[in-house]
């Protein structure tokens, strides 16, 4: 009994020791797995950073040096350089946690929390463009030349990796961002729930899982946006081909919904955040459009300014200011302005047109958002009434939400970048203008130093200029006075019968005192304006237009009526015709004679003068006589129309006198033109 009682304490101690040993072993195993999981996270991150570094610094740089025009490096590698920058810093932080033995897990959790936003921003861009990179890579495989260059680059830069294709490296960022939650989850599985690092690791796992969810959502939104932000240039036939009952019904529903918005029948869906962003975006769009118009006008004016080339004119002056001006003009045309236009195109025009092209996609997306918003409101109203919607209607609602969320997320950054680019373009334009002015001024000062008056004191110089201007003014006034005294009048020529009948008709309608002659060609530029030739005869109807403007007269041109400048009309002075049979008929008709039957029959009827306006008939085309009754003509040769018809009365042939020879010519070959103004002026001696 005593022996039994004495053995019990030893047996109890042995059992407790054995239980303690078995409790320590699982704890050591969990801790070991935890350490292995942490080491896996750090070592795989180091290997990943090394491979991304090879991709950016070796492969991409090597391909860039080859300058292959058909290779889209930006589309292939996207923003891998930004990923490399973030991953290097992240790896440095992970390696620094190794010195924190008891706080390592807390430090790792905090590090993921610190980098989650940066990782999401860089990886979402890469993942959204990854499918496009694969399509590019597939197209390059079909091009033997490009495929050979890519394989040569891989063999020259990364032969130790055994990579046979670029996809080996391009898929790494996509795989890495999805592996972070798994690696953290493995560490969490081997961390006791009672430790202080457990909730921090849980939060890190949730954070990285949310990062992957956000990346997938961003990718989905980008796919929706890429579907709608492409500008389509469809012909009218293509648009009609797309019409069907479904599209017509959908467009009709949208239009009716829009009308109800404008009429206030239904309330609009308000989104103040988006409305403010769209307003800024539309402001950028209009600013770019206005700047493009101004630049086009500026370039047109610059071309017009460069049209005169005085340096190419042969002046019979060996020296002096005229030659210096020619040298200055030659320097501007051949050196300054070509360089200015080249820099203007490179620094202003090309960036401006690129910015304008960048705005096309977002403009399409903004327009499509409005269409989808109208669909969304209609489906929401139907859902509130019926309680459910179809699968297609649910997809349409999700499409609107995706487009709206993408625009709200991307427009702020887009507006900021677009405004920065626009500001840089304007700064470049301003700088170019300053450089141009400085360069021209410098060259002008150099030319001015060679002038005879360059050393003259400023007061003396201005006194000389004033005296020269006064002397030139006196000479100009004298010239103007002499010019007014000898201004040539219009030369009168006989009219052909058609024009004569037109003038006689004007006289019979309005009287000879209303006749005016056009002193110079008039080209109508407004509504109701007439286009008239110099020398043409018109009759004045009103000496004021409908707005009371007395410098714009209403005239009758023998058919058409309209307004002409009063300054280009002068009273027509009739001359007595030398030809018999050209007398003006009596203005009084038989009706007028009956009306005024009380007049004395012995009263002599006044004779009207014959009017011979400044017209002449010339041959519009050359004509070769084919019979003795015909006469030959040369184009532009003056003729005298004797009869505007042949012996049978046909107006297709006219009897004319050409340099003393008479004969018939086709009437359609004759043209009535005003007499040309005499060249130069003869001043009195």
And the tokens for 280?
A: 């800024």
φ/ψ region of 78 (left if φ > 0, alpha if ψ in -120 to 50, else beta) reads left
Residue with tokens 């070959």: 669
Whole-angstrom distance, CA of residue 5 vs CA of residue 12: 12
266-302: per-residue pLDDT in tens? Answer: 777 778 888 899 899 999 999 999 999 999 999 899 8
**Range with the poorest average pLDDT among 179-188, 336-345, 357-366, 588-597:** 588-597
Residue with tokens 């209009």: 286
And the tokens for 246?
A: 């479904």
Whole-angstrom distance, CA of residue 328 vs CA of residue 335: 10
Pairing of strands 561-565, 569-571: unpaired
pLDDT confidence tier of residue 461, bands split at 50, 70 and 90: confident
Whole-angstrom distance, CA of residue 532 vs CA of residue 516: 12
CB 127 within 8 A of CB 176: no
CB 512 within 8 A of CB 505: no
What is the SS3 assignment for 196? coil
Say what the pLDDT of residue 587 is: 37
Helix (DSSP H) and strand (DSSP E) numbers for the chain = 20, 10
Say what the pLDDT of residue 243 is: 66
Give the full edge-to-edge strand order of the sheet including 670-674: 661-666, 653-658, 638-643, 615-619, 670-674
Burial profile 98-133: b = 16 or more Cβ within 10 angstroms, e = fewer: eeeeeebbbbbbbbbeebbebbbbbbbbbbbbbeeb
Sign of CA dihedral 174, 177, 180, 182: negative
Whole-angstrom distance, CA of residue 535 vs CA of residue 124: 78
Angle, helices 2-53 vs 104-141, to 10°: value is 40
Whole-angstrom distance, CA of residue 325 vs CA of residue 439: 16
Say what the pLDDT of residue 352 is: 93
What is the SS3 assignment for 187? helix
484-536: per-residue pLDDT in tens? Answer: 665 455 555 566 677 777 888 888 888 888 888 888 888 887 878 898 888 88
Whole-angstrom distance, CA of residue 588 vs CA of residue 599: 13
DSSP state of 79: T
Pairing of strands 515-518, 537-542: antiparallel
194-251: per-residue pLDDT in tens? Answer: 898 999 999 999 999 999 999 998 888 888 777 776 655 556 676 666 667 766 777 7
Residue 313 CB neighbours (<10 A): 10
Whole-angstrom distance, CA of residue 199 vs CA of residue 467: 96
Maximum CA extent, the chain: 187
């Amino acid at each position: 009994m005593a022996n039994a009682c004495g053995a019990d304490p030893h047996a109890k101690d042995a059992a407790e020791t054995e239980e303690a040993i078995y409790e320590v072993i699982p704890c050591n195993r969990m801790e070991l797995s935890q350490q292995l999981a942490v080491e896996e996270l750090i070592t795989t991150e180091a290997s990943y950073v090394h491979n991304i570094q090879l991709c950016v610094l070796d492969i991409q740089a090597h391909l860039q040096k080859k300058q292959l025009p058909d290779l889209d490096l930006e589309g292939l590698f996207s923003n891998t350089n930004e990923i490399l920058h973030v991953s290097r810093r992240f790896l440095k932080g992970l390696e620094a946690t190794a010195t924190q033995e008891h706080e390592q897990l807390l430090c790792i959790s905090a590090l993921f929390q610190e980098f989650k936003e940066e990782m999401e921003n860089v990886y979402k861009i890469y993942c959204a463009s990854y499918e496009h990179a694969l399509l590019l890579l597939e197209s390059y495989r079909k091009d033997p030349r490009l495929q050979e260059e890519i394989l040569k680059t891989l063999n020259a830069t990364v032969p130790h990796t055994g990579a046979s294709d670029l996809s080996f490296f391009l898929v790494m960022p996509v795989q890495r961002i999805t592996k972070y939650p798994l690696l953290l989850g493995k560490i969490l599985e081997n961390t006791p729930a009672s430790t202080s690092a457990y909730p921090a690791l849980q939060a890190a796992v949730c954070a990285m899982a949310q990062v992957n969810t956000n990346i997938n959502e961003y990718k989905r939104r980008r796919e929706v946006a890429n579907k709608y932000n492409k500008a389509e240039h469809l012909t009218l036939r293509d648009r009609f081909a797309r019409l069907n009952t479904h599209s017509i019904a959908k467009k009709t529903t949208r239009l009716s919904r829009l009308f109800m918005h404008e009429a206030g029948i239904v309330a609009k869906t308000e989104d103040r955040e988006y409305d403010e962003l769209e307003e800024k975006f539309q402001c950028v769009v209009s600013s770019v459009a206005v700047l493009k118009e101004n630049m086009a006008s500026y370039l047109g004016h610059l071309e017009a300014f460069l049209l005169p080339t005085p340096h190419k004119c042969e002046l019979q002056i060996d020296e002096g200011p005229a030659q210096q001006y020619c040298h200055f003009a030659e320097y501007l045309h051949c050196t300054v302005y070509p360089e200015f236009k080249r820099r203007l195109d490179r620094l202003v025009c090309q960036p401006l047109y690129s910015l304008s092209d960048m705005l096309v996609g977002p403009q399409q997306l903004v327009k499509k958002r409005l269409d989808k918003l109208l669909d969304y409101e209609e489906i929401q109203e139907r859902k509130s009434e019926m309680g459910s919607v179809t699968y297609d209607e649910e997809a349409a609602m999700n499409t609107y939400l995706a487009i709206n969320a993408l625009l709200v997320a991307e427009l702020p950054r887009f507006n900021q970048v677009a405004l920065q680019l626009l500001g840089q373009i304007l700064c470049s334009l301003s700088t170019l203008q300053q450089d141009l002015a400085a360069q021209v001024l410098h060259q002008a000062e150099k030319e001015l130093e060679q002038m005879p008056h360059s050393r003259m004191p400023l007061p003396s110089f201005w006194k000389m200029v004033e005296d020269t201007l006064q002397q030139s003014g006196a000479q100009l006034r004298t010239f103007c006075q002499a010019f007014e005294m000898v201004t040539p009048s219009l030369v009168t020529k006989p009219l052909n019968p058609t024009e004569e009948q037109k003038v006689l008709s004007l006289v019979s309608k309005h009287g000879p005192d209303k006749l005016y002659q056009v002193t110079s060609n008039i080209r109508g530029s407004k509504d109701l304006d007439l286009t008239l030739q110099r020398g043409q005869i018109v009759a004045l109807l009103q000496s004021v237009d409908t707005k009371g403007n007395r410098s714009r007269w209403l005239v009758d041109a023998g058919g058409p009526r309209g307004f002409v400048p009063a300054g280009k009309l002068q009273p027509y002075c009739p001359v007595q015709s030398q030809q018999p049979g050209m007398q003006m008929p009596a203005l009084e008709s038989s009706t007028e004679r009956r009306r005024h039957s009380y007049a004395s029959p012995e009263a002599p009827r006044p004779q009207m003068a014959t009017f011979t306006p400044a017209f002449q008939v010339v041959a519009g085309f050359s004509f070769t006589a084919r019979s003795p009754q015909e006469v030959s003509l040369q184009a532009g040769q003056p003729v005298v129309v004797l009869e505007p018809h042949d012996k049978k009365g046909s107006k297709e042939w006219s009897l004319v006198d050409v340099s003393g020879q008479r004969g018939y010519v086709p009437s359609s070959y004759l043209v009535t033109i005003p007499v040309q103004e005499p060249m130069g002026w003869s001043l009195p001696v």
